[in-house]
Structure 1
Amino acid sequence: MSKAGAFRALHHGRPPGDPLILPGPWDAASARALVAAGFPALATPSAGVAASLGYADGETPAAEMFAAVARITRAVDVPVSADVEDGYGLAPKELVERLLEAGAVGCNLEDSAGGVLKDPHEHAEWLAGVRSAAGDRLFLNARVDTFARGVADPDRAIERAALYVAAGADCVYPIEAPTAVLPLLRSGVEGPLNMYARPDGASPAPAELGELGATRITFGPGLLRLALRSVQEVLA
């Protein structure tokens, strides 16, 4: 089985309370540490990689982001999915080629740019192009940014999720969705559901999110921030 196939399989057949936990490395060293801790796959956070390269979130040049992903994938043997924000304006074929060249088996693709939600139908059409170019070589995690952009109605997130799943998305990620609406999202979204958690204990534990319907858990740049906090404590 290919790495992409193995990564896809990790998302299916999971019992409630046992979501796939994908910690986010920001460089090769952190990736190796996470694999040594026993995690079967990793998912890079764009904000964490940006910070490691000296950029604010959302300001990393595409070439530097793909190069950083490539350094991470070369450093470990497990599947690595890459957060490539909104695709950097690349056409689907080029985006897929660059992800595969970097060694990624999946990607996060968000449906907003510059703080503004994209037209969901146009975004779904673009996702369909990515799916067509990728075939089964990439696992597509479609991020839904409604909650992050101030649209609190879960029905709007579910509507977007349905369009993206129909376009070929393998998983849906309603980032910043409140825990209280997770059961509603679970009932309205087909297929795997990604939820964000904080590794510092400020959000429900992954097992609890799994019981409520989450298929997989990611932490964004949370692990990097914890690491930096530890360094600051040592320096103090």
Structure 2
Amino acid sequence: MPRTIAEKRALFWTLHASDCFLLPNPWDVGSARYLEALGFRAIATTSSGFAWSTGHANNHLSRDTVLTHLEQMVAARDLPVNADFENGFGKDAAGVAESVKLAVAAGVAGLSIEDSTADATDPLLPLDVAVERLRAARQAIDEVGGDTMLIGRAENFFVGVPDLEDTLTRLKAYAAAGADCLYAPGIKTREQIAAAVAAVAPKPVNVLVGSSSEFTLSDFAALGVRRVSVGGALARAAWGGFMQAAQSLANGRFDGFTDAATGAQLNSPFT
């Protein structure tokens, strides 16, 4: 029997209780089902990967489009789904609360709220505003789906403001505001990661690995990290192969298909 939404959410919480697990980011139903076939225990959506698959830049999709995508990913199989919910799709705290309730209704096991503004000249929300929005998300979850995990994201290193002290201040504030898990995409060194883990202990911390890394999953576990996600990296890897093959075609060559999967390999996980 397929897992219920409640069972998926319960499993998601269990995964965060100890050790360290991989949380890969598929961009569509097919990639989600393939990851499940490989034995992954949970998945997370990627705003960038999904946007690219629809012919848009990251952070340029409507709330309704994203919510439909979340519903499809939740229905794809039995894995818990963590939603990359960008900045909460609300102009203010009340708007964030409304959007979060809709995401919970879509069946996600967890959702993240960012503190970025999408404005390169002023990329981070003031801390008090970001906290207010996260508190609104917390209240919304408590009202309609208390078993949904809330992830607070400090985007400093991701948006070009690599201030570790401010990052830690934000993570601690988001933890105090009700975030169940904390995430600072872009921190990379052992010292940065260990500082983030210590700042919000005993709450779990997510680390992003978006490119080749010297760390293994065991290394992250030794630092106290609870989960490791890859953001848009899998989508970028797929696009890299496609772009290389397409560029070869544009030059009148067919050598871009050398490493292509066979039809049988692709049919196998879906039958």
Same fold per superposition (TM over 0.5): yes
Match of 2:70 in 1: 69
Higher share of residues assigned strand: 1
TM-score by length of 1: 0.90
Give yes or no for the alignment of 1:146 onto 2:170. Answer: no
Match of 1:195 in 2: 207
Secondary structure class of the residue paired with 2:11 = helix
Match of 2:267 in 1: none
Separation in 2 of the partners of 1:119 and 1:110? 12
8 Å Cα contact 1:121-1:163 kept in structure 2: no
State the one-letter code of the partner of 1:101.
Answer: A
Identify which range, 24-33 or 180-189, moves more after superposition.
180-189
Q: C-alpha deviations, 1:9-44, integer Å up to 9, x for none? A: 211122xxxx12100111111110011110111100
Separation in 1 of the partners of 2:50 and 2:72? 11
Secondary structure class of the residue paired with 1:81 = strand
Give yes or no for the alignment of 1:103 onto 2:107. Answer: yes
Unaligned runs of 5+ in 2: 1-5, 246-255, 259-271
Match of 2:17 in 1: 12
Matched ranges for 1:1-236 at <5 A: 2-14=7-19, 19-89=20-90, 91-115=95-119, 116-135=123-142, 136-180=146-190, 181-190=192-201, 191-198=203-210, 201-231=212-242, 232-233=244-245, 234-235=256-257
State the one-letter code of the partner of 1:96.
Answer: V
Q: Which has the larger radius of gyration?
A: 2
Secondary structure class of the residue paired with 1:220 = coil
Unaligned runs of 5+ in 1: none
State the one-letter code of the partner of 1:157.
Answer: T
How big is the shift at 1:50? 0.7
State the one-letter code of the partner of 1:21.
Answer: L
How big is the shift at 1:208? 1.7
8 Å Cα contact 1:161-1:172 kept in structure 2: yes
Separation in 2 of the partners of 1:27 and 1:107? 17
8 Å Cα contact 1:109-1:143 kept in structure 2: yes
How many residue pairs align between the two structures? 231
How big is the shift at 1:74? 1.0
State the one-letter code of the partner of 1:168.
Answer: G
How big is the shift at 1:209? 2.2
Superposition RMSD on alpha carbons, in Å? 1.8
Q: C-alpha deviations, 1:188-223, integer Å up to 9, x for none? A: 22311110113x534522322222232110000111
Identity across the alignment (%): 32
TM-score by length of 2: 0.79
